[in-house]
Amino acid sequence: MDLPEPALPDAIGRYQIVRALGHGAMGRVLLARDPVLDRLVAIKLLRDDLKLPPEQRQSLFDRMRQEARASARVLHPNIVSLHDMGEDPELGLYLVFEYVEGVTLKERLGRGPLGPEAAAKVAREIGDALNTAHAAGVLHRDIKPENLILSRTGAKIADFGIARVPDSTLTRDGGLLGTPAYSAPESIHHGKFSPLTDQFSLAATLYEAISGRRAFPGEDALAVATRIATEYPPLIAAASGLDPHVDTVLLRALDKEPKKRWPSTDDFGRALSEALLAAPRSHMPTLPDQRREQAMRHGAERRGARLAIGGFVIGALLGAGGLWIYSRQDTSPLPAPIASTAPTAEPIGFLAESPPTRAKRSAESEEHTHRTVTERDAGSDDATDADADGATNLPALMNEDDDAGTPSADAGVSVKSKPKSP
């Protein structure tokens, strides 16, 4: 159902509202101007017409505050920054984020996979950004194509700052609101989260960015969760004309046992970047095939895992997503809002390229333009896609009814910093 857009306030706090960027069943994102600093910002807040019991709403606000304060400690040029937090007497808690022009990786992949150079850049930048967050004791827990923004200054992680909504929002008409397409097996099966679960999610995301297909497709949440727990994705290097070590690096990050993955997301990102930029080689490594074949041999384990996962998926699995302070005792997550807007022009040359067009890049497409105020428009998510998985965090909540054509929004103001060199 297409929800009506709530009336826009003239201002929230000191911020002058310009227009709505997107809205959904649970939240909305507004474009606003900060008159003090003379810049555009993105304000994310719950819908003011959202009907939640007062105690549930207050509990959500309290958790949002805690997570937002944690995310404010994470400063990195490849992470969308949280600028401010406040509370409006009528609208409640709101968060103010930087506003970035670009497209989500999901939107970009609608035009085909990334070329090796672009994928290498994303791997290196996002791996380093996540490593910085992990060093600060913060997990993201919802890395996926929708939460990576490709801008003129590089790739940025969005959705730091909020976690999930109350459990009552996990289902609609008795059905699941999403699938665990990028979740690590230990988070699905045991509800455990660590920097290594973020690494797994990043690897699944980059696998899709390179190959153009999901690492773990499935018809429903249970099918996807079972596949993640018991199978490895097909090798992709040969078909993509890449060095075979691309498969080796990816499948190590996608290992079912966390301790066998790369030591950090930075190590993984750098290793994948080097493999993507290496000249193709004639021989294939044996490790990926051995791991994949070993997983496929256990048919009985698959059936057992499917039964075990079935009971867990509706509860803990769909709670995964959004910022997470992994050093604290409370094991319940929070919702993470992100708004996504649709670009009026191609966002960036080398990030928008696909393999057939790489040879046509011009020097202009590789030039990094530093802009302070930017904007992008996003297409709606396909509600029938079995992998629209982040439905328990605020970004996804704002897209719950996007199948009716309501756009979502994502935002930020770009950081004036030169992108890291390879």
> Looking at residues 292-317, what average pLDDT do you find?
43
> Looking at residues 310-331, what average pLDDT do you find?
42
**pLDDT of 373 strictly over 80:** no
> Looking at residues 387-405, what average pLDDT do you find?
31
Task: Please write the tens of the pLDDT for every residue from 252-270.
Answer: 999 999 999 999 999 999 9
Question: Which three-class secondary structure string do you get for 350-414?
Answer: HHHCCHHHHHHCCCHHHCCCCCCCCCCECCCCCCCCCCCCCCCEHHHHCCCCHHHCCCCCCCCEC
Provide the residue ranges of all domains of the chain, joining segments of one domain with +. Answer: 11-404
Pick the CATH number of 11-404 from 2.60.120.260, 1.10.510.10, 3.90.209.20, 3.40.50.720: 1.10.510.10
> Looking at residues 376-380, what average pLDDT do you find?
35
Higher pLDDT, 288 or 16: 16
pLDDT at 370: 33
Q: In sequence order, which residues have a C-beta less than 8 Å from that of residue 249 and are 6 or more positions away? A: 268, 271, 272, 275
> Looking at residues 223-252, what average pLDDT do you find?
95
Q: How many residues does the chain have?
A: 422
pLDDT at 29: 84
Q: Contact, 179 vs 218, CB < 8 A? A: yes
**pLDDT of 406 strictly over 80:** no
Higher pLDDT, 13 or 304: 13
- Active site residues per annotation: 142
Q: How confident is the model at residue 23 (pLDDT cuts 50, 70, 90)?
A: low
Distance in Å from the first CA to the final CA of the chain: 46
Paired with 148 in beta bridges are: 157
pLDDT at 49: 67
Q: How confident is the model at residue 102 (pLDDT cuts 50, 70, 90)?
A: confident
Tokens standing for 113? 């996979």
Lowest model confidence (mean pLDDT) among 115-124, 185-194, 243-252: 185-194
> Looking at residues 67-71, what average pLDDT do you find?
79
Q: Could you give the CA distance from residue 348 to residue 346 in angstroms, rounded to a whole number?
A: 6
pLDDT at 398: 30
Higher pLDDT, 179 or 376: 179
